[in-house]
């Protein structure tokens, strides 16, 4: 079945016998047992809930995994995943990560005795150089946030297999519609479902998806024990979002490409980072492993004043954190998502006072461009 169809019919289970076309929201904390020692398959909603199960099975199908677990946020999913590791273990991670993952690894995982090396994972040999006997996993985001660097998942998977390491891929930016890391050799896929999967800037959610059944059992145990599961209503909202994933992403990507090309022509723009531009250093790797480039663009303007003026003047685009929804959002990584990353580290990655990150939404591309043109205009008045 094609992915567009899976988005609509991914899990065709029925639970209530009414023929409801939309899976019901089973807003129940607990489920009565039919008899002593018997179960309907549902006991208590932290362990199982039909609406959440329907979503989890849908996501497992979309990613080509054997199981998926839905969490209350992307960070809850990543925190649960970290419970696979023990003090003394070592993990190699991308050096350009979502700010929340950076904060979790530096301030919580390290305190818990996990050691990290952060490297530019677009260069596989830099990962190899850091492997040591305690290394257990490689964690990559691809494309990265906010610099849009792409990691060759097949190549890193080959390396991980050689050394018996788990390969974990944060697939938030591309979603299974454009990229399926398990098929490329990853062991665990991580999502912030808050972004494209939900797609409407209205719900927080997170996922872990795996192919291996033993690993799935360990993660299910961690999930039910630590307890940050997704609520029935939020599960339903994410399911509704997924139904339109394919059409949203196609249109958002089409607009992103137009906007990226337009930005490249503007005198005040110093650099445009978008994996869909043939000038992007990882363009060939992207084409080889993904069916699309997504709709996230970051760009550098000519000065801090211009960056701040753009944030003040945009009106169709909103100045807000997050990404992947129908509304276009612009962020200032320096002060928002990456505020907790030390300055030297940030500067080295190019996350400076001139960098802006744009999540292209579903407004008409020409309206987004007009908004940016106005925001970049020399004599534009501050709102
Ligand atoms: C937003 C995001 C997360 C964290 O997800 P939340 O749902 O905000 O907890 C993790 N990874 C990436 C790439 C993200 O964009």
Q: Tell me if residue 43 is catalytic.
A: no
Please compute the mean of the pLDDT values over residues 31-50 and round it to a whole number.
97
Alpha-carbon distance 238 to 57, whole Å?
13
Clarify whether residues 124 and 273 are in a common domain. Answer: no
Overall number of domains in the chain: 2
Of 149, 141, 226, residue with least CA distance to 186: 141
- Nearest-atom index, ligand 1, CA of 101: 10
Residue 366 tokens read as 């020409």
Q: Is 371 a catalytic residue?
A: no
Cα gap 197→241, rounded to integer Å: 6
What is the model's pLDDT at position 185?
Answer: 98
The model's pLDDT over 153-194, given as tens digits with 9 standing for 90+, comes to 999 999 999 999 999 999 999 999 999 999 999 999 999 999
Rg (CA), the chain: 21
Whole-number Å distance between alpha carbons of 291 and 31: 42
Residue 170 known to be catalytic: yes
Same domain, 146 and 275: no
pLDDT for residue 383: 44
Q: What is the pLDDT of residue 355?
A: 97
Per DSSP bridges, beta strands 329-331 and 355-359 are antiparallel
Check whether residue 255 and residue 180 sit in a common domain.
no
Q: What pLDDT score does 32 carry?
A: 98
List pLDDT tens digits, range 79-112.
999 999 999 999 999 999 999 999 999 999 999 9
Out of 187, 215, 243, pick the residue that ends a domain: 243
Q: How far apart are CA 100 and CA 56, in angstroms?
A: 23
> Domain check: are 172 and 196 in the same one?
yes
271 & 330 share domain: yes
Residues 38 and 144 in one domain: yes
Asked if pLDDT for residue 309 goes beyond 70, the answer is yes
221-251: per-residue pLDDT in tens? 999 999 999 999 999 999 999 999 999 999 9
Write down the pLDDT at residue 379.
57
pLDDT at 327: 98
The whole-angstrom separation of Cα 220 and Cα 211 is 13
Q: Could you say which of 89, 95, 170, 234 is catalytic? A: 170
Ligand 1: atom nearest CA of 322 is 1
State how far the Cα of 25 lies from the Cα of 57, in Å rounded to an integer.
16
Residue owning tokens 């065709």: 12
| Statement: residue 381 has pLDDT above 80 | no
Alpha-carbon span 283 to 287, nearest angstrom: 6
Ligand 1 neighbour 324 (Cβ under 6 A) = no
d(CA 276, CA 178): 12
- The CATH number given to whatever domain includes residue 164 is 3.40.640.10
Q: What is the pTM of this model?
A: 0.96
Tokens 């190699």 sit at which residue? 92
- CA 143 to centroid of ligand 1, rounded, Å: 13
The residue among 218, 243, 268 that closes a domain is 243
Domain hosting 105: range is: 3-243
Q: What's the Cα-to-Cα distance from 332 to each of 102, 191, 342, 346, 380, rounded to whole Å?
A: 17, 22, 16, 13, 20
Per residue in 330-355, pLDDT (tens digit) is 999 988 878 888 888 888 888 999 99
| Residue 266 CA, ligand 1 centroid: distance in Å | 30
User: Phi then psi for 343, rounded to 5 degrees?
Assistant: -55, -45
Q: Among the atoms of ligand 1, which is closest to the Cα of residue 100?
A: 4
Q: Which residue has the tokens 């997170």?
A: 206
Q: Name every residue whose Cβ is closer than 8 Å to that of residue 101 and which is 6 or more positions away in sequence.
A: 75, 78, 93, 139, 141, 170
């Amino acid at each position: 079945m094609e992915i567009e169809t899976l988005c609509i019919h991914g899990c065709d289970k029925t639970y209530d016998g009414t023929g409801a076309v939309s899976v019901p929201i089973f807003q129940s904390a607990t489920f009565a047992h039919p008899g002593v020692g018997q179960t309907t398959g549902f006991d208590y909603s932290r362990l199982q809930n039909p609406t959440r199960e329907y979503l989890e099975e849908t996501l497992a199908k979309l990613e080509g995994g054997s199981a998926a677990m839905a969490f209350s946020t992307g960070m809850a999913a990543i925190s649960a995943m970290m419970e696979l590791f023990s003090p003394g273990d070592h993990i190699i991670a991308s050096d350009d990560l979502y700010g929340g993952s950076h904060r979790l690894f530096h301030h919580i995982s390290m305190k818990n005795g996990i050691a990290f090396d952060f490297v530019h994972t677009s260069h596989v040999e830099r990962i190899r150089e850091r492997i040591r006997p305690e290394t257990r996993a490689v964690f990559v985001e691809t494309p990265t946030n906010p610099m849009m660097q792409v990691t060759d998942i097949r190549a890193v998977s080959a390396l991980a297999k050689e050394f018996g390491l788990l390969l974990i891929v944060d697939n938030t930016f591309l979603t299974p519609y454009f990229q399926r890391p398990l098929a490329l050799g990853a062991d665990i896929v991580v999502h912030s479902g808050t972004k494209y999967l939900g797609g409407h800037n209205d719900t927080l959610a997170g996922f872990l998806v795996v192919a291996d059944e033993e690993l799935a059992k360990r993660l299910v145990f961690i999930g039910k024990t630590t307890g940050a599961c997704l609520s029935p209503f939020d599960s339903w909202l994410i399911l509704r979002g997924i139904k339109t994933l394919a059409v949203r992403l196609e249109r958002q990507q089409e607009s992103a490409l137009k906007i990226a090309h337009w930005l490249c022509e503007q005198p005040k723009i110093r650099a445009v980072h978008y994996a869909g531009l043939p000038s992007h250093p990882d363009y060939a790797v992207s084409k080889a492993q993904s069916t699309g480039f997504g709709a996230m663009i970051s760009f550098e303007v000519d000065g801090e004043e211009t960056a701040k003026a753009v944030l003040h003047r945009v009106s169709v685009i909103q100045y807000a954190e997050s990404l992947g929804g129908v509304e276009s959002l612009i962020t200032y990584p320096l002060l928002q998502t990456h505020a907790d990353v030390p300055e030297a580290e940030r500067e080295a990655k190019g996350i400076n006072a001139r960098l802006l990150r744009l999540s292209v939404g579903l407004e008409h591309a020409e309206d987004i461009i007009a908004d940016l043109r106005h925001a970049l205009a020399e004599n534009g008045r501050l709102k």
